[in-house]
Amino acid sequence: MGALARLLLADGRLPVGAYTYSAGLEPAVAAGLTRDRLPALLRARLHTTAVTEAAAAVLALRAAGQDPVDYGPVQHALAARTPVAPLRAASATLGRGVHRLARRLAPDHPAVTALSTVRPRPLRPVTLGALGAVMKVSEDELAQAVVYDELQTITSAALKLLPGDPLDAVAWILAAEPDAAAAVAAALAVRTPGALPAPTALLTEQWALEHDRRERRLFLA
C-alpha cells in the first residue's frame, strides 16, 4: 500500500462512520462558538485530544507487532484519560466501524483477531492501530493520519454547522500545520501506556455532557 495507505486512513470518506462525529464542534457551536473561533478550536484540539489519540494509536500499532497481541494496557490507559462517558461511548462506536473495516481487509490477521478480546469494546485509536498494522503503515504515518483526521473532521462538520466558504477550511488546516506537526512529534515520543499524555480540555468535556442530553443533534459528539 505504501504512502497510499496513509492517505486512505486520513480520507474522510473511509466507511467507518466518522461522518457521524464532529470532534466536539457541534457541542461547541451549541455552547456559542462562532465561525471566527474555529482556528482556535483546532489548535486547542491539537494540543489536547489529538495528541492523546495519536499516541494511543501508535502504542496500539506497536502492540499489534508483538506476539501475542495485547491491547489491554493501551485500552485501559486511554479509557482512564477519557473520563467523560459520552466521549468514551462515541470513541467505541467509531472504533466498531474501524474494526469492521479491519475484519473486511484481513479477518485472520493477529492484530485484528486480538481486537475481539478487548473489553469493553476497543476505543477508536486502538482499532486504528490495528488497522495500521494491517495496512503496513509506519508509526509516523499513523500519527499524521490521526492528527489530520482531527482537523478534517472538525472542518468538514463546520460546513454543515457554520456554513461558509469551503476554502476557509483549507486555510485553517494549513495554518494549523505547525501545531499538527508538534502533536505528531509529541505522540511519537510516548513509549509506554503509562506515559500516555492526558492534557485536559475541560470545556470540551462539559460541552460533551450537555450535548449527550440534547434530543436534536446531527453528530454523536
Whole-structure pTM value: 0.94
Does any domain span residue 12? no
Does any domain span residue 4? no
Cα–Cα dist 49/153, whole Å:
13
Does any domain span residue 149? yes
Residue-wise pLDDT for 27-74, tens only, equals: 999 999 999 999 999 999 999 999 999 999 999 999 999 999 999 999
Q: What is the mean pLDDT of the chain?
A: 93
Residue-wise pLDDT for 70-96, tens only, equals: 999 999 999 999 999 999 999 999 999
What was the pLDDT predicted at 7? Answer: 74
Determine the structural domain holding residue 122 and report its residue range: 49-205
Q: 13 or 112: whose pLDDT is higher?
A: 112
For 73, list phi and psi in degrees, rounded to 5: -60, -45
Summarize the confidence of residues 137-157 as an average pLDDT: 94
Q: How many domains does the chain have?
A: 1
What was the pLDDT predicted at 17? Answer: 76
Residue-wise pLDDT for 197-210, tens only, equals: 998 788 889 999 99
Is 204 within 8 Å of 49 (Cβ atoms)?
A: yes
Cα–Cα dist 96/90, whole Å:
10
The yes-or-no verdict on residue 157 having pLDDT over 70 is: yes
Summarize the confidence of residues 6-20 as an average pLDDT: 75
Does any domain span residue 213? no
Q: 83 or 1: whose pLDDT is higher?
A: 83
The yes-or-no verdict on residue 4 having pLDDT over 90 is: no
Burial state string for 35-65 with b = 16 or more CB within 10 A and e = fewer than 16: eeebbebbbbbbbbbbbbbbbbbbbbbebbe
Does any domain span residue 74? yes
Does any domain span residue 176? yes
Cα–Cα dist 67/73, whole Å:
15
